[in-house]
Each structure stands twice: as structure tokens, then as C-alpha cells.
Structure 1
Amino acid sequence: MALINTKIKPFAAKAYKQGKFVDVTDADVAGKWAVFFFYPADFTFVCPTELGDLADYYPELQKLGVEVFSVSTDTHFTHKAWHDSSDTIGKIDYAMIGDPTQEISRNFEVLREGEGLADRGTFVVDPDGVIQAMEITAEGIGRDASELVRKIKAAIYIRNHPGEVCPAKWKEGEQTLAPSFDLVGKI
């Protein structure tokens, strides 16, 4: 699990997005912020609550220049069927990538070998294709999109302000830190 500060691996997949099947590759991520949001399977229990929560924050993420890709080992056809049959999933506008070959899940080290399912994994990728943040949780623990947005804002801030870092619970507009010798032991 040493993926922080590593470049994402090349991939090509089919996705369901806004009523269409689309091709998605690592080239679609180049030059922009992206979130890869892995989950175990369609038509399950915790997954729709997470995906719906993320859909609620998608317009805010778009304003920040962030693209979202949900990923499971289901097919893009299954994603469409779920989108068409669930009010919660029906509100999703971001790409729902099908990973039936398990290549993308394996690349991000979230594949449960022998089960064919992905763990709950969230990865924030910068415009250079480098993973800046990640979170992996057990199957029964749902994620919070508001916390993801906070982390993305912090990642964008520190990229745009070299020499500064964001302390715990930092929110946009709050004080940051400038690490220096004089700051050691003063916090």
C-alpha cells in the first residue's frame, strides 16, 4: 500500500455516464484533478449510500476542476441497469467505470483476490497523474463525501502554495502552516 506519490498505471475501460456508454482511459485524467472511488458491487447496501452522497457533492467537485470516476468490478451494463432502477444511483452524473477484468482494481491495490471485488478505496489524483491521498475502509464502513471534498481542497491548496501545509481539520480560508526550523516544537 505504498501508492502515495506514485503515478497511476495506464488503463482503458468502459463506463456508464449520463445515459451513454463511454470509453475512459488514463489519458482522460491527464491535466486535471481526479477521484477514483472504488466500491465492492452494484445492487448492494452501503455502496449506494456512498455513491449517492458523492453525487450530491459532484457539482462542487466539478467547480474545483475535479473529475470523479466510481469503479467496481461490475460491467458498464450492470452500472446502467442499476442507474435505471435506483433513485439514489439515478442521480449520478459522474462516470461509473466497469472493471470486469479487475485490472484497475488491481492497479490501485484494492482488489480482493479470490473474491473478484474491490475494497472501498478512495484515491485523489493530481493533474500529473500522481496519487496525493488515499483511504481504504472495511466493507461495512461507509465514506463521507464532505470529508473527501475537504481533503481535495487541501491538496489543491498545497499544490498552489508550495512551502505551506494544511493542519488537522483545515478548511478552505483557514490558517495554514509554513514548516521551518523555528516552528519545530512550537505547535
Structure 2
Amino acid sequence: MSLINTQLKPFKATAFVDGNFVDISDADLKGKWSVFVFYPADFTFVCPTELEDLADHYEEFKKLGVEVYGVSTDTHFAHKAWHDTSPAIGKVKYPLVGDPTHVLSNNFEVLIAEEGIALRGTFLVNPEGEIKLYEIHDNGIGRDASELLRKVKAAQYVASHPGEVCPAKWKEGEKTLAPSLDLVGKI
């Protein structure tokens, strides 16, 4: 069964953000767009490149009203230590969420149980708490924040323009489609 359009499951977790430990829950996400970016572990190799890329694009996400959450099965204490020692992670201004109990990793179906770590999973949750897009892949394949931004913009456009859809490679400001009988066989 797909997670698309399913409701975010309840959770409580602690994040490291802005030099502090902050408790967050599913209730904190209601009314705004959220992106969850699961990664295998702190102090690894591909993960800091992805999280730094997100940090470099974080202001663009914020302008869209989107909060980004980096999540691994490490603790919030490990996130702080990594933030304090890695130049790449030192750039991160968005919450780094600890999931040592694997509640979030299980909720989003990315846990590799035998290893106790998460797959690389990216999820967009709308203001109503529904998962609108996700991508899960092998841990050796890094993600691109600019492509995620494009997908977020498309999801937000579709949400605010009922009856329209965004074609492949759609970028903000480009033409969309209005599915109808008249389009069948014309594309």
C-alpha cells in the first residue's frame, strides 16, 4: 500500500535546532508544509553532502512556507556533536530530529530493522498532515535539494489550483495541464 495521501501518524521526538534541543510532534506540523529527509546516520559520508545541500537551499524552502526536518535513528545528542564538529553540518539551520526509538522511521516505512538505520527517504507533508509525495532509494544514492524544491513547488501549485496538473520537468511559471476529454491522445 502506498503512503500517498495517507495521514501523518502520531509521533513525539527531540530535535537539535539553533543550538537547542526542541520537542516536536505531529501536532506541530498541522497548518504548514513539511519535508522529512531521512538519512542513515550521523558521521557518515553521503549524508553530510545531502544535508549541506538542503542547508544551502533552506531559505528557499522557508520562502515557500516549508519546514525541513532531517531525521536519522541517531539521538539529538549525536546531532549536536555532529553539528559542532562538521563544517558541512555546521551550516544546517533546520531541525535535526533524533529517532532512536524508530517511531518515525517505522511510521514512514524507511527503517532497515536489521541495521537500525533508515533508508534515504524524502517525504512532503501538506498542511492537512497528508503525505503528498515521497521517494525512497538505496543509501548509496544522494539526493538533490533543487529537484526537491521543484517537486514542492509543483505540489503546492496543484494544491492551490484544483483541476490543473504539472507535466514532466514543470518549473514555476510554466504551463500546466487541465486534464479533460479534449486532451486525450493529443499529448
TM tier, smaller: over 0.9
| Displacement of 1:113 | 1.1
Q: Which residue in 2 is equivalent to 1:132?
A: 132
Paired residues, number: 187
Return the alpha-carbon distance in structure 2 between the equivalents of residues 137 and 107 of structure 1. 17
1:141 aligns to 2:141 (yes or no): yes
Return the alpha-carbon distance in structure 2 between the equivalents of residues 7 and 39 of structure 1. 22
Q: Which residue in 2 is equivalent to 1:6?
A: 6
Letter of the 1:130 partner, please give it: E
| Displacement of 1:14 | 0.5
Q: Which residue in 1 is equivalent to 2:60?
A: 60
| Displacement of 1:172 | 0.1
Letter of the 2:15 partner, please give it: A
Return the alpha-carbon distance in structure 2 between the equivalents of residues 48 and 91 of structure 1. 10
| Displacement of 1:137 | 1.3
- TM-score by structure 1 length? 0.99
| Displacement of 1:41 | 0.1
Give the RMSD, CA atoms, in angstroms. 0.6
Matches within 5 A, 1:106-121: 106-121=106-121
Runs of at least 4 residues off by over 4 Å: none
| Displacement of 1:28 | 1.2
Matches within 5 A, 1:8-157: 8-157=8-157
Q: Could you give the per-residue CA deviations for residues 99-133 of structure 1, whole angstroms, max 9, x where no partner exists?
A: 00001000000000111000000000000000001
Percent of aligned positions that are identical: 69
Secondary structure of the 1:164 match is coil
Structure 1: gaps of 5 or more residues: none
Structure 2: gaps of 5 or more residues: none
Letter of the 1:10 partner, please give it: P
Return the alpha-carbon distance in structure 2 between the equivalents of residues 184 and 126 of structure 1. 30
| Displacement of 1:64 | 0.4
Letter of the 1:118 partner, please give it: A
